[in-house]
Structure 1
Amino acid sequence: MRAYGPLGIAAFALASGGAFVFIRLTSEVVEGETRAFDEAILRALRQPGNLSAPIGPGWLTHVVTDITSLGGTTVLTLVTIVTVGYLVLASRRATGMFVLLSVLGGWLLSTLLKIGVARPRPDIVPHLVDVHDLSFPSGHAMLSAVTYLTLGLLLSRVQSNRATRLYVIAVALALTLMVGLSRIYLGVHYPTDVFGGWCAGATWATICWMIARRYLPRPEESAG
């Protein structure tokens, strides 16, 4: 097993920092300290005098609605299944199983956190899509971070080209950010819900990457 170098230390610091920020944010949310900020952002994204109409051109709402579906359970499940299938067929069975367990574990953690905090959905502005569960942390934001970042970080390990690795991680980050922002625009989550989801999901993905880096062989190692 390899000893951790500067990259591993940086990942440990990132995971620790993410967990610390999430815990502090959760405390502020539970105490109601973030409510004024959250409400101001939600109102700023609606037309003055008509909180049912979001700012921006009419087509933007349709685009954002499509983007938010990328963080839904159905899409994330399909993405995970396709990725695991690819890894298994590419003779990377251990990595595929680790990806599956990492994503499932993150989804379970998201559910437990929602139940533990039990924050109701925002009622400041009308919702532009139907929602029925609890609010903090944002499930779409956290599950997108858990799924896309975990897949991105672990898939980057099986790529030999540095540019390809960076591209995979960049796409994962972009998808995670877009899905989270879409939830705020649609009025179904407070900004702190989304930020909390990002923190928790990114922390989980980083921890999974650290475990994989230590215990799963890289392509050149398994080939040798």
Structure 2
Amino acid sequence: MRGTSRKRDRFGPMTPDQILAFGRRALRIARTEIAAVSALFIVALGVMTFVELADDMTEADGRAFDEAILGALRPEATPGDPWGPGWLETAALDLTALGGTAVLSLFAVIVTGFLILQRKRLSALLLALGLIGGVALSEGLKALFGRERPPEMLRAVETMSASFPSGHSLLSAVFYLSIGVMLTRAFPERHFKAYIIGVAVLLTLLVGLTRVYLAAHWATDVLAGWSVGAAWAMALWLIAYALQRRQQGHPQAPHVLPVDEDSGA
């Protein structure tokens, strides 16, 4: 009789606390699956956008778009002078360095060291591999397409490699978006999460826009860099998510490069 009573209690009506706990878990699982699907969507969208831009780059419409943007920012009447006040070019030169390999490498070393001190070694490894993979993607695609830069007389910065895609745009998307999403783990409040992601997106956009403004890249180069960078960042997110699911054994709301101290990684 005691066994039957216990069985009835176990499978009987749920208490309000049990219903609340069940609802929270169901919501957490739903958010997890939505986030994973969203990440896959961004990867697919980024790849498709890049393919479309690569195709348009060789067509008259694509070249006309790039030339129109460049002509608006660097008027033909004064080829060496950009559009806007003089201080704007100085500011653009400062901001564009935020997407340079040297600056991002320094930031990556600082963040990686912090993650190692926090015993988040897998996070540090994935972040480093993400940036290294981004550099490899950038250089490989540049070598594959071999697109020429905008006319040298219009450029405000020195360039060495090919133009398509923009390496600054690609690497800034990988680094800042990954760091931004990773930092959201420390802030449960939604407005803090939105602020952090907003700053990461803003930095990524500023780097790309300055590349066009300084005539270092065509506009489609920057769009292609953003597309590949976002897709690569989300691919890393999915890898981290899969590892987290495997380590913890149950779904949990994922974040880019999520590894806890107890994971042993």
Counterpart position of 1:10: 38
SS at match of 1:34: helix
Matched, 1:138 2:166: yes
Give, in angstroms, the shift of residue 48 of structure 1: 5.8
Counterpart position of 2:148: 120
- TM-score between the two structures when normalised by the length of structure 1: 0.90
Gaps of 5+ in 2: 1-28, 249-257
Gaps of 5+ in 1: none
Q: Do the aligned residues in 2 keep the contact of 1:154 with 1:212 (CA within 8 Å)?
A: no
Matched, 1:55 2:83: yes
Q: Do the aligned residues in 1 keep the contact of 2:123 with 2:259 (CA within 8 Å)?
A: no
Moved over 6 A (4+): none
Q: Kindly tell me: are residues 111 and 219 of structure 1, through their superposed partners in 2, closer, same or farther at Cα, counting changes over 3 Å?
A: closer
SS at match of 1:119: coil
Q: Kindly tell me: are residues 92 and 160 of structure 1, through their superposed partners in 2, closer, same or farther at Cα, counting changes over 3 Å?
A: farther
Amino acid of the residue matched to residue 186 of structure 2? Q
Matched, 1:45 2:73: yes
Matches within 5 A, 1:54-133: 54-123=82-151, 126-133=154-161
Select which of 203, 217, 221 maps to 1:193. 221
What per-residue deviation string (whole Å, max 9, x for no partner) do you get for residues 34-67 of structure 1? 1111001111013462121111111111000000
Q: Do the aligned residues in 2 keep the contact of 1:140 with 1:179 (CA within 8 Å)?
A: yes
Q: CA RMSD in A?
A: 2.2
Matched pairs, number: 221
SS at match of 2:80: strand
Amino acid of the residue matched to residue 161 of structure 1? P
Q: Do the aligned residues in 2 keep the contact of 1:43 with 1:51 (CA within 8 Å)?
A: no
Counterpart position of 2:188: 161
- TM-score between the two structures when normalised by the length of structure 2: 0.77
Amino acid of the residue matched to residue 46 of structure 2? G
Q: Kindly tell me: are residues 219 and 199 of structure 1, through their superposed partners in 2, closer, same or farther at Cα, counting changes over 3 Å?
A: closer
Percent of aligned positions that are identical? 40
